[in-house]
Amino acid sequence: MKSVIIPSYNSENTIEKCLNSLLNQSYRGNYEIILVDSSVDKTPKIVSAGYPKVKLIHLDKKTDPGTARNIGIGMAKGGLIAFIDSDCIAAYEWLEKIDAAHQSYYNIIGGVVNNGNEKNDLVGWAGYISEFREFLPEQPKQEVMHIPTCNISYKRRVFLKFGMFPGEYYPQEDLVYNYNLCKNGEKILLDPTIQIYHHHRSGLKDYLYHQNKIGTITSKVLKLIRLEGSFVVRHPTLAIFLIPFLPMVKFTRTVLVFLKFQPESITKRPLVLLLFALGLVYWVTGFARGIYEKSPS
């Protein structure tokens, strides 16, 4: 038995495509789909009416994705637990590829992220470029320290041994969790044959707000885990002088990665770089704020 867990909040515009992709997999073994939803829109009605095979857990108040996933893990029957988000579409062989990859000694295996937005959706493309440069389909198979929970799977024993996701760090709760797993000796495999299509925010306001939120929580998380950038957040006085250079560094590194692996993402829509740069302004504003705010406890 395999379990697929989806956290959801106000997903009425994307949930049908997500569930349809999961119900029409090439995998022929037994698997369950668990949707942990805290929506106030039509999502629970859509699922209840059209997807009787999906186990719907509806919560009365808005719940962060990490906590929703933890609830799903508690309900899951599978020895292998895969995660995808409600704004994602799984490739036809997604679960089959996950199952095959787990025949190895790895306990944690994930895949890559394609952009699911329309070709002319510049805001959506800016979101993709901002967040997924390390998880492009052109990346080689390799061991990594992190894969986002929109496309990752764990053997159940990982949760039994190490506990659940720290929900208070959304949207970086998966980064904190995976970092601690690696610190304790686990290895994470990135397999580029395991693919999903992620639909990003198309509204400019939503995109900028999300980038600001990512910046804020990133600096708070870097106070806890020693990844690149930790030096800046751990030295608040010095950070005043370093922060102005961060958008330039991130912009350059990201553009170089896309030009290497997926150049058409930029060359076919050069205006996306302006939106990406604008998003970095909001990101660094949040990052600076997070340095001087108290971290979650």
Give dist(CA 139, CA 14) in Å, integer.
27
- Asked whether residue 295 carries a pLDDT value surpassing 60, the answer given is no
Residue 12, classified by CB atoms within 10 Å of its CB into exposed (0-12), middle (13-18) or buried (19+), is middle
Share of the chain above pLDDT 90, in %: 89
pLDDT, mean of residues 111-117: 97
- Asked whether residue 71 carries a pLDDT value surpassing 90, the answer given is yes
CB neighbours of residue 208 within 10 Å: 20
Instruction: Tell me the residue ranges of DSSP E strands in 212-284.
Output: none
CB neighbours of residue 204 within 10 Å: 14
Tokens of residue 3, six digits: 């379990």
- Say which residue, 272 or 293, is predicted with more confidence: 272
Span 187-212, pLDDT tens digits? 999 999 999 999 999 999 999 999 99
Per domain, the residue ranges of the chain are: 2-119+135-198, 204-292
- Asked whether residue 88 carries a pLDDT value surpassing 50, the answer given is yes
Give dist(CA 296, CA 286) in Å, integer.
15
297 band by pLDDT with thresholds 50, 70 and 90: very low
DSSP summary character for residue 85: -
Residue 270, classified by CB atoms within 10 Å of its CB into exposed (0-12), middle (13-18) or buried (19+), is exposed
Span 207-239, pLDDT tens digits? 999 999 999 999 999 988 888 888 898 888 888
Question: Cα torsion at 165, 150, 117, 172 (round to 10°)?
Answer: 30
Give dist(CA 58, CA 237) in Å, integer.
45
Supply the pLDDT for residue 229.
81
Instruction: List the helix and strand counts (H, then E) for the chain.
Output: 13, 9
- Say which residue, 225 or 40, is predicted with more confidence: 40
Residue type at position 30: N
Residue 105, classified by CB atoms within 10 Å of its CB into exposed (0-12), middle (13-18) or buried (19+), is exposed
- Say which residue, 296 or 269, is predicted with more confidence: 269
Span 117-135, pLDDT tens digits? 999 999 999 999 999 999 9
Supply the pLDDT for residue 294.
66
Span 131-186, pLDDT tens digits? 999 999 999 999 999 999 999 999 999 999 999 999 888 889 999 999 999 999 99
Supply the pLDDT for residue 293.
80
Span 232-276, pLDDT tens digits? 988 888 888 999 999 999 999 999 999 999 999 999 999 999 999
DSSP summary character for residue 53: T
Please tell me whether the peptide bond between 263 and the residue prior to it is cis, using omega within 30 degrees of 0. Answer: no
Residue type at position 189: L
Contact present, 17 and 8 (Cβ < 8 Å): no
Can you name the CATH fold of 2-119+135-198? Spore Coat Polysaccharide Biosynthesis Protein SpsA; Chain A (3.90.550)
